[in-house]
Structure 1
Amino acid sequence: MIIDCHTHVWPDAVAKRALAGSVRDLPRRGDGTVAGLTASMDKAGVDRAICLGIGNTPPQVDKANRFAAGLDPGRFTGFGSVHPGLSVEDNIAGLRAHGLRGVKIHPMFQQLELDDPRLGAVLDALQGEFAVIVHVGAAGEDPGNRCTPEMLARIVREFPRLDLIACHFGGYRMFERALDVVCGLPVYLDTSWPPGLASLAPGRVRDLVRRHGTDRVVFASDWPMADQGAEIEAIRALGLTEDEIDAVLGGNAARLLGLDKQ
């Protein structure tokens, strides 16, 4: 099974507008619709995708959660949203009401700091029940000061029971910094690096994956900001063993999501 742990889709009526408002300096590899993602998955041989909903403001959180919960469970796992502008109780109740098993936090779009004490209270409540995938590093013209590898490291230490996935190896456009700060911590790292993982030196990526632990790295494309098929090939070209490749491409995510027990 191949599981893409980092994709973005929107309702058809708003996908074009939402995609236009995302990071402007990256090429688009799809239209941001569910049908577009399904076609990409079929072409690339991806069995399941985690689709990440983001409520940029508190009023948008329930809309994002409702859409994520309505995705076809046969192909998709919807992750919803939380926002520190809502109470801890409202955030958790919304996720439970929609039957969601995880959330995406994106400090850039949500205009928050990763070390915001209000967010810390929400993360504390998510421990032991929900997985959390968080953007770390830069984005577009934003240098990434809202969500640094150092901030991530503090979260990992402060919330040890949190099932945490750090996007972009723990620091987009901060690879060497993430290697020093995040590598080896008890956190999952996703492999997304738009516009393509192949832009990084394969040997450095292979060293990071093995240093961190091949049981705690998950395949991620960031579709539609990257081509799923090309990202799979980049993983296969890293020089890992077949067992390591299988773990990264799907085995680790299946275990994290409990799909290995189904």
Structure 2
Amino acid sequence: MIIDAHCHVWPDEIARKVLADRPVGLDPVHDGTLDGLRRTMDNAGIDMAMTLAVANAGRTVWRTNEFVGQVDRTRFIPFGTVHPDLSIDENLAALRNNGIVGVKLHPLFQTVAFADVRTQEILTALAENDIPVIAHVGSGGNEDQNRRGAPKDLHDMIGAIPDLRLIAAHYGGYQVLDEAEKWSVGASIHLETSWPPSMGTLPRDRIVDIIRRHGADRVVYGSDWPMTDPATEIAGIKALGLTPQEERGVLGENLARLLRLEFPAAT
């Protein structure tokens, strides 16, 4: 089984507009819709995907969670949104009442920072309610945006919230792999493998070393759909030369265990 931990989705009527505003150099490969993701998954042999929805403002948290909470649970695992403009109780209600499984935190597009006490209070509440989180970590925006997602601040925050089930996207430091190796690798988190436009741009030996130093059982495959092609990213994982057990873990078994999904025994 293959599970993609990193797929952004939007309602059909706004997906095109959202993707038109992406940063230069990160042109989308696919359309950002649920139907488009399903077709991509079928073509790439992906069994399930975490569908990530992010609200950039507190006023859109409810409708964002309402949208992602209605996905087909046989193929999609809904990860919704929180925002510091809302109270903790309001954030939790918006997740719970829409059946959201986990949360996507995105310092580049939300006014959330790992060093902000408001963010830490929300994440503490998510940990207390056993709600997993996947977070963008590292750069990709302007100086202020990049500072909000700094690997060092993530490391410090995790030390204060040890029970949080957190997946750090982009090997724990997008575009700042040196910082990721210093602060994210070896921390009490799971690392995720996406690196737009493709993880194939990273040195193979360095990635294998990161995976094994962190622990291959705590690394999960993610594509960052629709910004990359999942089939290409899966091929990149398979080209790393991991052991069969490590490869199965990264491509699906580790994430299934983290999210406590039922997973068929390997044959």
Instruction: Give the TM-score of the pair, scaled to structure 2.
Output: 0.95
Compared CA separation, residues 220 and 261, structure 1 to 2 (3 A): closer
Distance 2:158 2:142 in 1: 27
Shift of 1:20: 1.5
User: Given the alignment of the two structures, is residue 64 of structure 1 paired with residue 64 of structure 2, yes or no?
Assistant: yes
Distance 2:193 2:64 in 1: 24
Distance 1:237 1:176 in 2: 23
Q: Deviations over 1:86-125 (max 9, x none)?
A: 0011111111111112001111111232211111111110
| 2:133 equivalent in structure 1 | 132
AA aligned to 1:198 is: G
- Secondary structure of the 1:22 match is coil
Compared CA separation, residues 119 and 140, structure 1 to 2 (3 A): closer
| 2:100 equivalent in structure 1 | 100
Contact kept in structure 2, 1:170 and 1:189, CA below 8 Å: yes
| 1:48 equivalent in structure 2 | 48
Distance 1:160 1:140 in 2: 28
Given candidates 219, 224, 229, the residue that maps to 2:221 is 219
User: Given the alignment of the two structures, is residue 4 of structure 1 paired with residue 4 of structure 2, yes or no?
Assistant: yes
| 1:146 equivalent in structure 2 | 148
Q: Deviations over 1:202-258 (max 9, x none)?
A: 100000000000111000000011110000000011110011000000000111111
- Secondary structure of the 2:77 match is strand
Distance 1:140 1:29 in 2: 20
Shift of 1:25: 2.2
User: Given the alignment of the two structures, is residue 189 of structure 1 paired with residue 202 of structure 2, yes or no?
Assistant: no
| 2:209 equivalent in structure 1 | 207
Contact kept in structure 2, 1:24 and 1:140, CA below 8 Å: no
Distance 1:27 1:15 in 2: 13
Contact kept in structure 1, 2:253 and 2:263, CA below 8 Å: no
Structure 1 stretch displaced more, 164-173 or 140-149: 140-149
Shift of 1:141: 4.8
Aligned-residue CA RMSD in angstroms?
1.3
Distance 1:204 1:14 in 2: 38
- Secondary structure of the 2:108 match is helix
Distance 1:16 1:105 in 2: 22
AA aligned to 1:6 is: H
Distance 1:80 1:225 in 2: 19
AA aligned to 1:202 is: R
Distance 1:38 1:229 in 2: 13
Instruction: Give the TM-score of the pair, scaled to structure 1.
Output: 0.97
Structure 1, unpaired ranges of 5+ = none
Contact kept in structure 1, 2:84 and 2:118, CA below 8 Å: yes
Contact kept in structure 2, 1:107 and 1:146, CA below 8 Å: yes
Q: How many percent of aligned residue pairs carry the same amino acid?
A: 45
Structure 1 stretch displaced more, 208-217 or 142-151: 142-151
Shift of 1:49: 0.5
Ranges of 4+ aligned residues in structure 1 off by more than 3 Å: 140-143
